[in-house]
């Protein structure tokens, strides 16, 4: 695993998303996850929906099931799944800003509950869920082995796990690690970025079987040039963007540069994006 040169605690992750709250929603939208371009002709909204649909398909949901969304962000994915798949969703986030938005934006008739809670210290009951998804959230957790042991604990026997993860290529060139992956971890408040083999090992050790991984790196890479362009337009048109970048109190303003690193990391193949699925034995 490529580790960050600076620790990233739960509070660091929460502050990252709280400070960048308006930018995430304005630049990309309520999903706060990559888009998936299956044909290359999709709009950004269609691409983000594609990723949600891919997760739903791998989770094999059916009406009446219970689902846990680990790192639910603003809750948009959870709302779509609850409404369209008719399942009961429980979403967890460590960001107070995301939690407030998720609760406020969710109509009473949608069977989705959102908790301000750390997955590594959650109070979910053993065997509570039929399925569990984690879309781009495991990167922010230091004890990744525990991420999957907790997933196994709260899933029913035969329950399905779907994880969308940012991963490092094996092996990396020294300059790629020094100038791309390690800074992405540090600036994105990620304790470290794992590899495909490590994720597979952690799942296996937690008791998961039928593990599969779909590499969609090149199909999601377009997310970051789009985000970078929209942010640049925002700097030119919205005074608040520039004030944020110039305010030294905002220690997450460096993420404007991180978007460019991410773009290059995908282009170089140093960073990968995989959708894992597995079954609790």
pLDDT tens for residues 183-238?
Answer: 999 999 999 999 999 999 999 999 999 999 999 999 999 999 999 999 889 888 88
Whether residue 91 contacts residue 72, with contact meaning beta carbons closer than 8 Å, is answered with: yes
Q: Which residue has the higher pLDDT, 62 or 250?
A: 62
Backbone angles phi, psi at 210, to 5 degrees: 50, 45
The whole-angstrom separation of Cα 105 and Cα 89 is 15
Asked whether the whole model's pTM tops 0.85, one would answer: yes
Burial class (CB in 10 A: 0-12, 13-18, 19+), 51: buried
Average pLDDT over residues 70-78: 97
Strand 112-116 versus strand 88-93 pairing type:
parallel
Model pLDDT, residue 256: 82
Q: How far apart are the first and last CA of the chain?
A: 26
Backbone angles phi, psi at 127, to 5 degrees: 65, 25
Residue with tokens 């952690």: 202
215-227 b/e with 16+ CB inside 10 Å = b?
A: ebbebbbbbbebb
**What's the half-sphere exposure (Cβ side, CA atoms, 13 Å) at 280?**
22
| Dihedral (CA of 54, 73, 181, 37) sign | positive
User: Domains in the chain: how many in total?
Assistant: 1
CATH code (residue 176): 3.40.50.150
**By residue range, what is the domain housing residue 132?**
2-280
């Amino acid at each position: 695993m490529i580790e960050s040169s600076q620790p990233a605690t739960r509070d660091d992750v929460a502050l990252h998303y709280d400070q960048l709250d308006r930018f995430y929603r304005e630049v990309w939208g309520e999903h706060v996850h990559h888009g998936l371009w299956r044909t290359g002709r999709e709009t950004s909204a269609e691409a983000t929906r594609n990723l949600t649909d891919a997760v739903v398909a791998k989770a094999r949901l059916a009406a009446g099931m219970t689902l846990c969304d680990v790192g639910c962000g603003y809750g948009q994915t959870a709302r779509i799944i609850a409404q369209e798949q008719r399942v009961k969703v429980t979403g967890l986030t460590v960001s107070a800003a995301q939690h407030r938005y998720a609760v406020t934006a969710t109509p009473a008739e949608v069977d989705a509950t959102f908790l301000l809670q750390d997955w590594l210290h959650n109070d979910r009951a053993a065997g509570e869920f039929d399925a569990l998804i984690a879309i781009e959230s495991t990167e922010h957790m230091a004890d990744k082995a525990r991420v999957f042991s907790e997933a196994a604990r709260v899933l029913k026997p035969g329950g399905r796990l779907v994880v969308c993860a940012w991963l490092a290529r094996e092996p990396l060139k020294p300059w790629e690690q020094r100038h791309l992956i390690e800074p992405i971890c540090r600036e994105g408040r990620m304790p470290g970025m794992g590899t495909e083999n490590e994720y597979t090992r952690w799942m296996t050790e937690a008791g998961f079987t039928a593990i599969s991984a779909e590499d969609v790196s090149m199909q999601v890479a377009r997310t970051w040039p789009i985000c970078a362009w929209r942010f640049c337009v925002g700097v030119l048109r919205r005074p608040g963007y520039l004030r944020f970048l110039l305010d030294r109190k905002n220690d997450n303003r460096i993420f404007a540069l991180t978007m460019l690193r991410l773009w290059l990391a995908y282009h170089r193949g140093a960073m990968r994006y995989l959708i894992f699925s597995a079954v609790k034995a």
